[in-house]
Amino acid sequence: MARYVVDVMPKPEILDPQGKAVLGALPRLGFQDVTDVRQGKRFELELDGEASPERLEEVRKMAETLLSNPVIEDFEVHVADHPAPVEESAHEPTPAEEPAPTEEPIADADESTADREPVQE
Amino acid sequence: MKVGVVTFPGSLDDVDAARAVRAGGHEAVALWHGDADLRGVDAVILPGGFSYGDYLRCGAISRFAPVMTEVIVAAGRGMPVLGICNGFQILCESHLLPGALIRNDHRKFVCRDQRIRVENNRTAWTSAYAEGAEITIPLKNGEGGFVADQATLDMLEGEGRVVFRYLDDNPNGSLHDIAGITNAVGNVVGLMPHPEHAIESLCGPGTDGLGFFSGLAAVS
């Protein structure tokens, strides 16, 4: 299993209203000297097999086809520095954090891992 | 004519669009995003809404819905296709129309009656209007800012493919005040404002939108 990263950014000449909103909020929180903020997206994709130039090229195609819109966005792809995380089952919980011996809550906990986007319907 | 109206998950204005089709004197045919089948229709409307929750980018996921494969082929053969609001975004993501729609420059959702000028009445959807006609139809969007690079803007302007332009205040930061455009042939039209919400005097700002549907004709 190898992990690939696609970074998508609005093209420099395209207005970025979300970045502007963040730029406006920072001074109000006491962070001074910020002159510009651009907001983009980061995708992490896991593919079977070892990382290879061929797979990276495939990820590039995904980025071109779906993950970015070349009219308004630029993207970069690379193989993640760190490998895909080990399965949750490999983690040996301490007695204090041992979950209740029912199946349901464990499944829920697995669903809400920290590296997922907190987007809810 | 038989006019198909596509329902995507998250479409909001498909029912109004079908109603407008009937008010225009045509038969409305419901099309489903998951079916690669246009059911023998003569024209297609991609309605407004928030298909796929606007996830990734507005229209980006709908563009790959099975029905869109058929719409793209049919549009290439000259079938009239109208994209309203989210439908316009889907047409841009499908590359049936150039450019893209980004978040409104002022970052607020806009909902108002909008005056626009019909700049081109030679498309399949605008033949009922006089060139230069000024009409008022509802506008409601959060990501309606039309953008394209300078070469594309020059091409659209030079070829008369800007079909609608905002009058009074530009509501979303669209370049060149562009509210809607067409493809080179004139069968595919996309716009952000909603003609289907202005087809009868009982509700909405009037009946200025009815001509989109009553005047629908194949492009020669």
Comparing CB atoms, the residue among B56, B100, B105 nearest residue A71 is B100
Q: Do B107 and A72 touch (CB under 8 A)?
A: no
pTM for this one?
0.86
CB contact under 8 A, A17 and B105: yes
| Amino acid A81: pLDDT | 83
Q: Hey, is the C-beta of A20 within 8 angstroms of any chain B C-beta?
A: yes
| Cβ-Cβ contacts under 8 Å, A17 against chain B | 102-107
Asked whether the predicted pLDDT for residue A104 surpasses 80, the reply is no
Instruction: State the pLDDT at residue A105.
Output: 42
The predicted pLDDT at position B102 comes to 96
Q: Which of B40, B39, B48 is nearest to B18 (CA)?
A: B48
Q: How far apart are CA B194 and CA B205, in angstroms?
A: 11
Sign, CA torsion B96/B97/B102/B104: negative
Least Cα separation, residue A66 to chain B (angstroms): 7
Residues of B with Cβ-Cβ distance to A13 under 8 angstroms: 149
pLDDT band at A84 (very low <50, low <70, confident <90, very high): low
* Both structure tokens of B137: 């139809």
Nearest to A72 by CA among B146, B159, B171: B146
| A66·B64 Cβ contact <8 A | yes
Please answer whether residues B137 and B203 qualify as being in contact, where contact means their C-beta atoms are separated by less than 8 angstroms: no
Q: What is the pLDDT of residue A70?
A: 94
Q: Would you say residue A118 has pLDDT above 50? A: no
pLDDT of residue A88: 52
- Nearest Cβ partner for B107 among A21, A67, A119: A21
What pLDDT shows up at residue A117? 42
Which of B51, B52, B57, B91 should be substituted to probe chain A, the one whose Cβ sees the most A Cβ atoms within 10 Å?
B57
Q: Does any CB of chain B come closer than 8 Å to the CB of residue A36?
A: no
Beta bridge partners of B27: B2
Angle at A38 between CA A76 and CA A60, to 5 degrees: 15
What totals of helices (H) and strands (E) does chain B contain, helices first? Answer: 5, 11
CB atoms < 10 A from the CB of A96, how many?
Answer: 5
pLDDT at B124: 96
* B148 with A15: Cβ contact below 8 A: no
Show pLDDT as tens, one digit a residue, over chain B (220 residues): 999 999 999 999 999 999 999 999 999 999 999 999 999 999 999 999 999 999 999 999 999 999 999 999 999 999 999 999 999 999 999 999 999 999 999 999 999 999 999 999 999 999 999 999 999 999 999 999 999 999 999 999 999 999 999 999 999 999 999 999 999 999 999 999 999 999 999 988 999 999 999 999 766 5
| Best residue of B58, B92, B103 to probe chain A, by most A CBs closer than 10 Å | B103
The rounded distance, in Å, linking the Cα atoms of B206 and B199 is 7
Tokens for B55?
């996830």
Measured between beta carbons, the chain B residues lying within 8 angstroms of A21 are 107
Region of B40 please: left (phi>0), alpha (psi -120 to 50) or beta: left
Burial B23-52 (b: 16+ CB within 10 A, else e): bbebebbebebeeeebeebbbbbbbbbbbb
Among residues 32-61 of chain B, which lie with CB inside 8 Å of chain A?
Answer: 53, 55-57, 60-61
pLDDT, tens digit (0-9, with 9 covering 90-100), for A11-53: 999 999 999 999 999 999 999 999 999 999 999 999 999 999 9
